């Protein structure tokens, strides 16, 4: 997968550079759908729903799925993806999810071309999501046991600040995203 952006949320110009990366890696035409993955029941796995809620609050016209009120997680993901893909046929999917990393990577936001595999760090087998993947390193992996990463606790602070940075970046390119989804002037939908 090609990495098009990698920066910590608190670094100068993180919002504008993330916005530029999103604008650059998304096609110039067609609908964009944000699929924000995670649960509202685990601090370290609520990045997706928190970002989804913030994006939806800032730009309600965008197609955003996975919020704190209606999260997309392991138990409902297959059904949710089927519904989203039926409703938004041919749309470009931007997947947003939390990830774990090394202690020095906490706070890193990364944008990659290609899908992400939710639940991989905790040994869950879930379908790949997105043609653009936005991930945020929310905590360090504590310990590796039996082929999967075990993490016990972490702070909500990086989760919140990463989600805020992502939502501000989407807001910065909202007009471009909305224009891509709209039919050209003079053309009728049919």
pLDDT in tens, 56-107: 999 999 999 999 999 999 999 999 999 999 999 999 999 999 998 899 999 9
Residue percentage of the chain with pLDDT more than 90: 68
Query: Domains in the chain, ordered, with CATH?
Result: 2-180 (3.40.50.1450)
- Categorise residue 71: left if φ over 0, alpha if ψ from -120 to 50, beta otherwise: beta
d(CA 2, CA 132): 10
- Sign, Cα dihedral of 51, 137, 155, 117: positive
Task: Tell me which residue of 19, 22, 30, 20 sits closest to 178, measured CA to CA.
Answer: 30
Instruction: Give the pairing of strands 132-140 and 32-36.
Output: unpaired
pLDDT tens, 120-145?
A: 766 778 899 999 999 999 998 775 54
DSSP string, 81-111: HHHHHHHTTTPEEEEEEEEEE-GGGTTEEEE
* The pLDDT value given to residue 146: 38
Q: Are the C-beta atoms of 51 and 38 separated by less than 8 Å?
A: no
The CA-based angle 37-40-45, given to 5 degrees, is: 55
Alpha helices in the chain, H assignment, sequence order? 14-25, 47-58, 77-87, 156-172, 174-181
């Amino acid at each position: 997968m090609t990495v098009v952006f990698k920066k910590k949320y608190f670094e100068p110009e993180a919002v504008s550079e993330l916005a530029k990366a999103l604008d650059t890696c998304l096609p110039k035409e067609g609908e964009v759908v944000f699929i924000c993955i995670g649960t509202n029941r685990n601090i370290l796995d609520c990045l997706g729903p928190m970002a989804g809620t913030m994006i939806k609050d800032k730009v309600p016209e965008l197609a955003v799925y996975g919020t704190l009120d209606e999260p997309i997680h392991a138990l409902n993901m297959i059904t949710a993806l089927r519904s989203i893909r039926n409703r938004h046929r041919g749309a470009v999917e931007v997947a947003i999810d939390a990830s774990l990393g090394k202690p020095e990577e906490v706070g890193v936001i990364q944008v990659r071309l290609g899908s992400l595999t939710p639940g991989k760090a905790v040994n869950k087998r879930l379908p790949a999501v997105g043609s653009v993947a936005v991930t945020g390193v929310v905590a360090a992996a504590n310990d590796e046991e039996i082929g999967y990463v075990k993490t016990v606790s972490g702070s909500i602070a990086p989760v919140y600040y990463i989600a805020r940075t992502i939502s501000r970046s989407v807001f910065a390119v909202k007009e471009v995203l909305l224009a891509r989804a709209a039919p050209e002037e003079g053309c009728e939908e049919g």
